[in-house]
Amino acid sequence: MEAFETYQTPLSSRYASKEMAHLFSPANRFNTWRKLWLNLAIAEKQLGLPITDEAIAQMEANLELTPEQFEIAAVEEKKRRHDVMAHVHTFGKVAPAAAGIIHLGATSCYVTDNADLIFLREGLGFLIRSLGVLISRLSAFAAQYRDLPTLGFTHFQPAQLTTVGKRATLWIQELLWDLKNIKRVRDELGFRGVKGTTGTQASFLALFDELDALVTKLSGFEYAYPVTSQTYSRKIDADVLAPLASLGATAHKIATDIRLLANLKEIEEPFESTQIGSSAMAYKRNPMRSERVCSLARHLMVLHQNALMTASVQWFERTLDDSANRRITLPEAFLTADIILSTLQNISEGLVVYPKVIARRIAQELPFMATENVIMAIVKKGGDRQEAHEKIRVLSHEAGHQVKQLGLENDLIDRIRADPYFDPIKDDLDALLEPSSFIGRAPEQVDSFLKNWVDPALADKEVSESISKSQKVELNV
């Protein structure tokens, strides 16, 4: 790099999974640089440069930095004000036969940018696997409560009934979109390759055109971007963070729904027996996990804007105002997404449903929703639709007064029973008020969705293996 910028482990890595925290750790970063230097040397040797077997062997034997080498690199970086050259010097100390050819013909971005692309690809893989586990957990929840009627809400006002399971499929569908988008951007990622100081490959004219393709293959990528500047286009970062930001929006919506349901006392996130909800109010059961998801999700969504702004101000072949920014933004985006998914998985595995509370709320609102059924039943018995409508309208307003003005229960059905006009259908009222008759095809929609959309997505080998692994971990615990 053209400036002294020390790589630090982001604070959020303390709470991320071990895999994701390690991926963006300084140790993994500098080890990856050494692997890239090794691949470059191997390719150059294969293409005829005088690089000895001993040099390659010494590089291969020292791909991981020891604590002592970290100290040497820190001293060198402070002296040279250049992190890449500090590590070139440190690597040469333990691989002296290769000291003269490490980084041969390369620019700093050969290791920094290619390493970042490796990290992005691996990080997206971690998220794909975590998403699969979360989707499987929520799918089990949706199947379990496929036919449990619950009050639907539009504008957070009582609406027609749905089911607890059907509502969960709305969450899952968005997660499936996130899974698809993250897999797409992962599978489309390329490699910067070896393009020289401004992307023209001028440094490598003598090393043959095959060098770029060979190093790309050795580094495990299908292709290298056909043209680059000194760096790979920072638009790639924006494209990678876009589905992560979208995942943040999904997570925020799910966690917000759970927070609202917790307020209604219908569904709650896990709450430990010794957990304290408030230091002052001992009775409280705050949905702190869901609140944490919302908090982190907002951070994740904002990071995408950062990447867009960085991509937009890269002058000509590059400018260095991207560097310090990206060293924070990229790790934070992946670590934050990782924490969000693990927290949502924890929530999904311990969701508590209160059917009696749900049934009570339905009973409070269903009489109003059943009025159309009552009118239709009267008409079937020979009644006049307009007359029945007027009767129901008057009784509904009277019942509404009881609820809103006096704070009493909804007594609309009692008023209907007491009115002689409705004598022909009084024996049918209980059936007309059965909640399951108001949920339409919601249970069948859950079944169809899980079978036709979720199961195929979870059958993907990468995802299914992750689900199986997580289940084995649970059994061992």
d(CA 105, CA 90): 18
Q: Alpha carbon of 375 to those of 162, 367, 391: distances in Å?
A: 22, 12, 9
Catalytic residue among 278, 295, 436, 448: 278
Q: Which residues contact 461 (CB under 8 A, 6 or more apart)?
A: none
* Alpha carbons 398 and 410: distance in angstroms, whole number: 10
Q: Judge whether 155 counts as a catalytic residue.
A: yes
- Active-site option among 89, 108, 136, 155: 155
How far apart, in Å, are the Cα atoms of 130 and each of 127, 171, 227, 341, 350?
5, 16, 33, 7, 17
For 322-352, letters b (16+ CB in 10 Å) and e give bbebbbebbbbbbbbbbbbbbbbbebbbebe
CB 362 within 8 A of CB 153: no
Check residue 454 and report its DSSP letter. Answer: I
- Residue with tokens 């209907």, as numbered in its chain: 416
Nearest-CA neighbor of 425 among 369, 370, 386, 365?
370
Which amino acid is residue 142, in one-letter code?
Answer: A
Inter-residue contact 5 to 84 (CB < 8 Å): no
23, 343 contact by CB (below 8 A): no
Please list, in sequence order, all residues whose beta carbon lies within 8 angstroms of the beta carbon of residue 158, skipping any fewer than 6 positions away: 151, 152, 365, 368, 369
Q: Which of 174, 154, 155, 152 is nearest to 163 (CA)?
A: 152
What is the distance between the alpha carbons of residues 278 and 294, in angstroms, rounded to a whole number? 19
Q: How many CB atoms lie within 10 A of CB 313?
A: 10
Q: Is 278 a catalytic residue?
A: yes
3-state secondary structure of 152: strand
Residue 94 and residue 179: Cα distance in Å, rounded?
A: 43
The residues annotated as belonging to the active site are 155, 278
